[in-house]
Amino acid sequence: MNFIQFHKELFRINSKFSEYAANHAEAQEFVFEGPGLFQVDLEKYAFLVYEGVVLKYHISPLGKMLYDNFYTRNSFIGLLPNIFYFDDYFEYTTLGNIRGLKIPLSALETYPDDLKNELFLRNIQRELFWKDSAARMLGLNLKEKIYYILSIIHSFRGINPWDNTYSIPKYITHEILANVANVSRTRVSYVMSELQKENVITYSKEGKIVILDIDFLHDSCGY
């Protein structure tokens, strides 16, 4: 699957659904002040993110906490049941303020079937992609994990006009990379410093990570 093209298609479908839902009285805009726990009723509502970032963590029955997924602009939280997990617990945290659309799940029954079918299909594919990515990281060492995460995020970014290079959103910090890779922030910073010295990455004036040599990252992690 071409995930760059898929992401564009997912964005189109979610936008189309958002426009439809916003015109129905059941859906309401919401604002959540963060950072903090995103404690909402996902059994009754789905949340479409307009602005902000939400991280999802998987808490196993033994209490182990692992990164599971992330949601940002035009992403749905709670639209689908948690895939492949049954007795485990999930926790959502925000990196700042969140603004979006709150949609009662009961209202989805009145929406056009073709719109719902397309919406569910694409969002299930998104969840499966990130599940597969998390599973692949289990067999990678520390450096390979960081290279792999940067490679995935790179696939979803556009060209940064200031230098014709790919930039990564500012909210993807060393702390976020550490949480996703399940390693310490110090170790991530060490790897990123090495990549900067080798001219694989640099940083923009706004503090964004900019990838200069994606081929090196791909070749080093088997992406």
Is residue 86's pLDDT more than 50? no
The Cβ-side half-sphere exposure at 223, using a 13 Å CA radius, reads 21
- Give the angle subtended at the CA of 54 by the CAs of 125 and 140, to the nearest 5°: 60
Q: How far, in whole angstroms, is CA 7 from its chain's centroid?
A: 11
Q: In this predicted structure, what is the pLDDT of residue 161?
A: 46
40 SS3 class = coil
Mean pLDDT of 171-181: 76
The H-assigned helical ranges of the chain are 3-22, 113-137, 142-155, 174-181, 185-197, 214-221
List CB contacts of 190: < 8 A, sequence separation 6 or more. none
* Predicted pLDDT at 200: 92
Q: What is the pLDDT of residue 114?
A: 83
Taken in order of first residue, the domains within the chain and their CATH numbers are 3-137 (2.60.120.10), 142-221 (1.10.10.10)
Indicate whether 165 pLDDT > 90.
no
Reading the block at residue 101, the tokens are: 């659309």
214-221 vs 142-155: helix crossing angle, rounded to 10? 130
> Residue 68: pLDDT above 50?
yes
Please tell me the predicted confidence (pLDDT) of residue 167. Answer: 64
* Mean pLDDT of the region 46-56: 87
Mean pLDDT across 98-117: 85
DSSP 82: P
Q: What is the pTM of this model?
A: 0.64
- 73, containing H or E segment: none
The single residue listed with the structure tokens 């594919």 is 125
For the chain, the farthest-separated pair of C-alpha atoms sits apart, in whole angstroms, at: 56
Average pLDDT, whole number, for the chain? 79
Cα 87 from Cα 101, distance rounded (Å):
28
- Where does the pLDDT of residue 162 fall: very low under 50, low under 70, confident under 90, or very high at 90 and above? very low
Res 192 pLDDT > 90 = yes
Q: Give percent of the chain with pLDDT exceeding 90.
A: 12
Cβ contact 200:191 at 8 Å: no
Mean pLDDT of 24-52: 86
Q: Is the peptide bond preceding residue 81 cis, with omega within 30 degrees of 0?
A: no
